[in-house]
Amino acid sequence: MNEANQAEMMTGADIFVNALIAEGVEHVFGFPGGAVLHIYDAIFKQDKFQHILVRHEQGAVHAADGYARSSGKPGVALLTSGPGATNGITGIATAYLDSTPLVVFTGQVPTSLIGNDAFQEVDSVGISRPCVKHNFLVKDVGELAITIKKAFYIATTGRPGPVLVDIPKDVTANRALFEYPKTIEMRSYKPVVVGESGQIRRAAEMILSAKRPVIYSGGGVVLSNGSQELIEFTRLLGYPITQTLMGLGAYPATDPQFIGMLGMHGTYEANMAMYECDTLIAIGARFDDRVTGELEKFCPDAKIVHLDIDPSSISKNVKVDIPLVGTVDRVLQDLIQVIKEMGRKPDSDALATWWGQIDTWRATDCLRYDRNNELIKPQFVVEKLHELTQGNAFVTSDVGQHQMFAAQFYKFNQPRHWINSGGLGTMGFGLPAAMGVQIAHPNDTVVCITGEGSIQMCIQELSTCKQYDLPIKIIMLNNRYLGMVRQWQEFFYDKRYSHTYIDALPDFMKLADSYGHVGMRIEKPSEVEGALKEALAIKESLVFMDFLIDQGENVYPMIAAGKGHNEMLLSPERELA
């Protein structure tokens, strides 16, 4: 292929391929179809990036998502028109709510047929509009290269997100001069990077004056690669820090200043500290409902500093006192510098008293569970996994009880190692996301923690794993229920378990074997550690582990709908805090 800056007449398909090469794309996740055949023919003729053939378009977008979250590079998916595009919408919406940088290309019917209800025609731009950061319909081959450049720029700057580019088939066949710009500016899109100096100084004053401070950090820290700045900031102040589900790993979970995840299934100490704090420092977090609980009861006595790249997220759900707009890394660097220049220290006596109170809450041991049981406890499986991998594995999950157990009991010390669907809560995310992670990190241990309900949503991707020799370790916590839904039915619907028991499950060992993988069934607590060790020792193959766990185990702590952080359900024996 030619250098990106050389102008040459090319087909739209060749322009597409050359543009991706110029962007440094190494992997594309996709599934072919009639509308993208010219593009696939051009892909066949190049060797600069690898195409990963998935088994379902939803899997393609989730795999691109896992690739992006774990690597920090934009994920790329290629789908055909019609059902190919609509199958990808769930993946696009998942990425949108978790701010993952994706560029999703969809084929479209020829421009002359758009609007005629042609074979495999859907309005991909209209359908995707609510769940993309931006989208494009390319009607002129001469605009294709610049549009792709814009797509990557929009997806990866500011608050990241998915961008969809819809390309009619005739555009991929027509010819134009190819010249790919090295940089781009868009008059209507200029994200703010650096915080306003006056606001930073005001924030520093408020932060240093705190008596009962809490640092509350979210996924924005991970997305902006601001982990080191967050660690320096937190240790400089000596303040307690809590993290959202999406923020785990940005600050080391084994550090004594970390008081656990907050929110609906957060720790007692984190939620009580949030409720009692007088100063809340929110960094790269969006105050979503699973974190805040009942808004009227959220941090009732706190002044709030909120740092975020997206100004529309500030004071959207919770009114804040000092807004800071910019990237987490840059603004924290400036904030650290201002605090050091001020020469002030936090109130040591007040901070010691505050830590004493937090330690009292910690003594509650809110994550305690019954370890003397004949049934496998899901918490025990995750704890053993953490112990055996020393916290260094990449862990993906689906959605439900297993997701919360993974978040609570796997102690993430590094960013980009915890990959889950937080905002949309997408069942079926875990396995294809793990594929993307394993493609991005071929020499690392990648584990998918899932449930027997979630895994079947995209289980066909076991075929993709076989084709590309992806040695993912699947830990299925099998309680024969849609566990989180069953938990809510137990608590709030008088144990009317309406359609949450999963009957007629397959033999997962035979299923794994039929795909060419290694299958295991683990039925006793005494078998857990040995099975995990055996699976982790198998470096060249995917291992599917079916753990038959306690069907009645629930996720605690829990904040019920309409409750505040100080009204936690700790366990059946320990009702409300």
**Which overall architecture, per CATH, does domain 197-362 show?**
3-Layer(aba) Sandwich (3.40)
The one catalytic residue among 149, 169, 303, 377: 169
Kindly state the average pLDDT of the residues 559-572: 86
Domain 8-178 shares a fold with domain 197-362: yes
Query: Is 70 exceeded by the pLDDT of residue 132?
Result: yes
pLDDT at 574: 60
Distance CA 434, CA 311 (A): 32
Tokens, residue 391: 């916290």
Find the helix or strand (DSSP H, E) in which 487 lies. helix 483-492
Distance CA 313, CA 134 (A): 17
Query: What is the 3 state secondary structure string of 203-269?
Result: HHHHHHCCCCEEEEECHHHHHCCCHHHHHHHHHHHCCCEEECCCCCCCCCCCCCCEEEECCCCCCHH
504: CB partners within 8 A, 6+ apart: none
Q: How far is CA 134 from CA 160, 285, 466, 557, in A?
A: 11, 22, 34, 38
Compute how many other C-beta atoms are within 10 angstroms of the C-beta atom of residue 120. 16
pLDDT at 577: 42
Q: Say whether 120 is catalytic.
A: yes
To the nearest whole percent, how much of the chain has pLDDT over 90? 92
Angle at 260 between CA 482 and CA 270, to 5 degrees: 100
Q: Are 156 and 101 in contact (CB under 8 A)?
A: yes
pLDDT at 373: 84
The one catalytic residue among 404, 484, 520, 545: 484
pLDDT at 297: 87
pLDDT band at residue 572 using 50, 70 and 90 as cut-offs = confident
The least confident of 207-216, 229-238, 268-277, 562-571 is 562-571
Query: What is the 3 state secondary structure string of 130-141?
Result: HHCCEEEECCCH
Find the helix or strand (DSSP H, E) in which 519 lies. strand 518-522
Q: Say whether 412 is catalytic.
A: no
Query: Is 70 exceeded by the pLDDT of residue 6?
Result: no
For the chain, the first-to-last Cα distance in angstroms comes to 65
Find the helix or strand (DSSP H, E) in which 338 lies. helix 328-342
**Helices (runs of H) and strands (runs of E) counted in the chain:** 22, 20
Place of tokens 């696009």: 92
pLDDT at 573: 66
Kindly state the average pLDDT of the residues 499-522: 96
The one catalytic residue among 16, 29, 57, 377: 57
pLDDT at 4: 46
Q: Give residue 577's identity as a one-letter amino acid code.
A: A
pLDDT tens-place string over residues 311-324: 999 999 999 999 99
Strand order, beta sheet including 322-325: 258-261, 241-243, 213-217, 279-283, 303-308, 322-325
Angle at 560 between CA 277 and CA 264, to 5 degrees: 55
pLDDT at 503: 86
CATH code linked to domain 8-178: 3.40.50.970
pLDDT tens-place string over residues 321-351: 999 999 999 999 999 999 999 999 999 999 9
Give 258-264 contacts, CB < 8 A, sequence gap 24+: 259/358, 259/362, 260/408, 261/407, 261/408, 262/216, 262/291, 262/565, 263/290, 263/291, 263/292, 263/293, 263/559, 264/290, 264/291, 264/293, 264/558, 264/559
The DSSP secondary-structure symbol of 4 reads: T
pLDDT tens-place string over residues 475-487: 999 999 999 999 9
pLDDT tens-place string over residues 164-194: 999 999 999 999 999 999 999 999 999 999 9
pLDDT tens-place string over residues 90-121: 999 999 999 999 999 999 999 999 999 999 99
pLDDT tens-place string over residues 533-543: 999 999 999 99
Compute how many other C-beta atoms are within 10 angstroms of the C-beta atom of residue 208. 17
Mean pLDDT, rounded, of the chain: 95
The one catalytic residue among 120, 357, 414, 460: 120
Compute how many other C-beta atoms are within 10 angstroms of the C-beta atom of residue 361. 18
pLDDT band at residue 3 using 50, 70 and 90 as cut-offs = very low
The DSSP secondary-structure symbol of 542 reads: -
Q: What is the pTM of this model?
A: 0.96
257: CB partners within 8 A, 6+ apart: 234, 235, 238, 239, 240, 241, 251
pLDDT tens-place string over residues 362-400: 999 999 999 888 999 999 999 999 999 999 999 999 999
The one catalytic residue among 44, 50, 119, 232: 119
Domain boundaries, the chain: 8-178, 197-362, 378-548
Q: Say whether 57 is catalytic.
A: yes
Fold held by 378-548 = Rossmann fold (3.40.50)
Distance CA 129, CA 134 (A): 7
Nearest to 134 by CA among 108, 153, 115: 153
